[in-house]
Amino acid sequence: MEEYKGKKVHLDKFKWEESHGNDSSIKKFFYYEGYVSDEDVPHGTGKMTEESRDYVREGEWENGEFVKGTYSTPYTQRYLGSFRSSALAISKSQTFQDSELHGDGEEYHYDSKENYINNKPSGYVKGLFNHGSLIEGEILNASLINYTEEKGVKKIIYNKRVGDSKTKDGLNNQMREGKIFYEVLPNIDSNRPEGQAIEYEGEIDFDLPHGKGTMTFEDGSKRSAIWNQGETEWT
């Protein structure tokens, strides 16, 4: 018998059945094949497939929790890296919660089945994650992959976190230092002789300039300001 992280393991394959709430007629089925511990939960390398949507988690498992590998959701995303989810407590018949990137990871987005199969992503999110949210790293083609509702955002770079601030509606913002790169969009009027903004560097809240920062325009000119959720009085 083999061992993995201090526990004896053996190869097995089986199915989980998950009911939703009090309605036992609504079920999800998960199929697992790989190494399990004596408690009959995934422990070691293995592959789990969610039947109804063909979602696949393949890689390393610890005590029933998917911790490292690839999580594929055809035909829209692939997630690679370290993961975190709720541990499974009852062998072969428990609720199986979703997995989130937690630690170093990469999230690839696809705009068609063909591009998914050929692994040609339309954009990505890469870096250090905390419970599925990027805290340091970069986002390529942010507008295209619907990471932001803002139009024409080519790339966002998150550097170190610099603090929190409150919005007018009481929400808490996670302030970061970073950069935002913009496309020059056609058929958009600019009220400024400098033309459209092409790059911002400074403090960011998620996808907007927020705090101290400098904007660069098409003609190469720069202006510094204090921003509030993407809006500011120029200084």
CA-to-CA separations, 173 to 75, 89, 148, 166, 168, in angstroms, rounded: 32, 35, 15, 6, 11
Token duo for residue 51: 């039947």
Q: Which pLDDT does position 214 carry in this prediction?
A: 95
Closest CA to 55 of 26, 41, 75: 75
Q: Which of 131, 113, 110 is nearest to 121 (CA)?
A: 110
Residues 45/31, Cβ–Cβ less than 8 Å: no
Q: Report whether 228 contacts 212 (CB < 8 A).
A: no
**Residue 133 in tokens:** 């949210």
Residues of the chain with pLDDT under 50: 87-94, 167-169, 171, 235
Residue pLDDT, tens place only, 121-163 = 999 999 999 989 999 999 999 999 999 999 999 999 999 777 6
Q: Tokens 């459209």 belong to which residue? A: 196
Residue 186: the pLDDT is: 72
Cis before 55 (ω within 30): no
Of 61, 60, 45, whose CA–CA distance to 11 is shortest? 45
User: Tokens 């920062």 — which residue?
Assistant: 213
Question: Which of these, 176, 228, 222, lies nearest to 202 by C-alpha position?
Answer: 176
Asked if 32 and 46 touch (Cβ cutoff 8 Å), the reply is yes
Cα angle: 116, vertex 121, 124; to 5 degrees: 130
How confident is the model at residue 92, as a pLDDT? 45
pLDDT of residue 90: 46
Give SS3 for 73.
Answer: strand
pLDDT digits (tens, 9 = 90+) for 212-234: 999 999 989 998 999 988 887 55
- Distance between CA atoms of residues 229 and 209, nearest Å: 6
Radius of gyration of the chain, Cα coordinates, nearest whole angstrom: 22
Q: Left, alpha or beta for 152 (phi > 0: left; psi -120 to 50: alpha)? A: left
Return d(Cα 21, Cα 38) in angstroms, integer: 29
Predicted pLDDT of residue 106 = 98
The alpha carbon dihedral of 33, 38, 42, 45 has a sign of negative
